[in-house]
Structure formats: structure tokens, C-alpha cells
Amino acid sequence: MNDRKPPRRAKRCISGDELGAAPVPDNDKHDEALAKLAWALAHPARVRILRILICREACVCGELVDQLPLAQSTVSQHLKILKESGLVQGEVEGPKVCYCVNPAALKRLKALVGEL
């Protein structure tokens, strides 16, 4: 007995003319902002770092490395990318840099994703 399902047929593509669809608005500034923020989260380690920081009430100094299976230098590189995107802020406290989420940037990311 053959339990294999027959292959699915490709759905027919419908052009915008057939649907009477309105043109997609050109929103370069939003597209660029979303691409920048999405790139900052394009690595699972950076997503994990952001999740850790979101769960904290205060800024995190040295304990991020203890929560990740990565070398200090690798965590620092990921934090640099997150800072450059604006999603994370860093403050120097003595010999350490403490990191926390930038709430405005996180809100912006959520709004841009919601516009898709």
C-alpha cells in the first residue's frame, strides 16, 4: 500500500491587474530602517542577547558572557552590532560597560514589523 501523498500543485499566480490591487507604497525610509534593525537581529546570539536584556529591569554588565556559550570577544562583537543598530545602549560604569535595551528602538522595530 502506498501511503505517499500526491505532489501539491503550484498555485496559480495572480497579477495585480487581475485583482485590481492598489500599488504598493514606496516607503524607502521605513524599508531601510527595518532592514537595519532586522540585520542586527539576523544572528541567533544577538536575538538571545536582546531577550536577556529585555527580561532585565536594570542594565547588565558582565553577566551576559556567563549566560551564553560564546567567548567574551564574540559577545562583545554582537553587542557592538546591536549598539550600532540602536536596539541596545551601553553606559560605562568604571571598568565595565553596562548594556540595556533602548525602549524607543524596540518600539520602532515592533511598529516597522507590524507594517509588513
- Predicted structure pTM score: 0.75
User: In this predicted structure, what is the pLDDT of residue 94?
Assistant: 80
User: In this predicted structure, what is the pLDDT of residue 44?
Assistant: 97
Reduced to 3 states, what is the DSSP secondary structure of residue 3? coil
Domain ranges, residue 99: 28-114
What is the average pLDDT value for the chain, to the nearest integer?
Answer: 85
- What is the domain count for the chain? 1
In a domain, 17, yes or no: no
User: In this predicted structure, what is the pLDDT of residue 81?
Assistant: 96
Please say whether the beta carbons of 25 and 115 come within 8 A.
no
In a domain, 39, yes or no: yes
Please say whether the beta carbons of 69 and 48 come within 8 A.
no
CA-CA distance, 65 to 103, in Å (whole number)? 22
Cell 498555485, located at residue = 11
State pLDDT tens for residues 24-67: 677 788 899 999 999 999 999 999 999 999 998 777 877 888 88
Report the CATH number at residue 65: 1.10.10.10
In a domain, 6, yes or no: no
Cell 485583482, located at residue = 19
